[in-house]
Amino acid sequence: MTITLMSALRRVAIAAALVALAIAATALHIGAQAEGKPVRVVVLDSLPVANARALVLQEGRGVRPITIFLTAASANPEMLGGALAIARKLRARPLAANRTLLVPVTGVVRRGAISPRTERRLTSILRRLEDRPPARIGNVGRGRWIEAGIR
């Protein structure tokens, strides 16, 4: 009986490790997202949440695209990739119509190297952002924004 229990626990541990690896791989494979649903990416001078390097905003029932807020200092492929991974997770769990969720991102833990293809895609999004003229972004101030697709 003890051997069967140990075997079952070992299988659960292996399954948990495989799920963790799949999640890490998903976060790193962001490339070729252009055909996906839009996410708004915004670069502001500063963010309204202390110590946040990025913010991911989701509004209930898909009223607007999920919005990722970055600062000029934090707008790099690694931070954008981490915020996009959060946006994908949020999209899988829609909110009720009267709900809003704001996720502050203070850092990104990388579990492996970003693939060259993914890095090119993320860099392309950031370059397109740099090319945009500054504009008023709702009630958060001036910044630059674009819509990018994610799967």
**Measured between alpha carbons, how far is 87 from 108 in angstroms, rounded to an integer?**
14
Distances (CA, A) of 15 to 8, 21, 60: 11, 10, 33
Paired strand residues for 149: 38
State the pLDDT at residue 28: 37
User: What order of strands is seen across the sheet that includes strand 37-44?
Assistant: 100-105, 54-59, 66-71, 37-44, 141-150, 135-137
Give the predicted TM-score (pTM) of the model: 0.73
Residues 67-117 pLDDT 10s:
999 999 999 999 999 999 999 999 888 888 889 999 999 988 877 888 899
Give the residue with greater pLDDT, 3 vs 6: 3
**pLDDT at 23 exceeding the cut of 50:** no
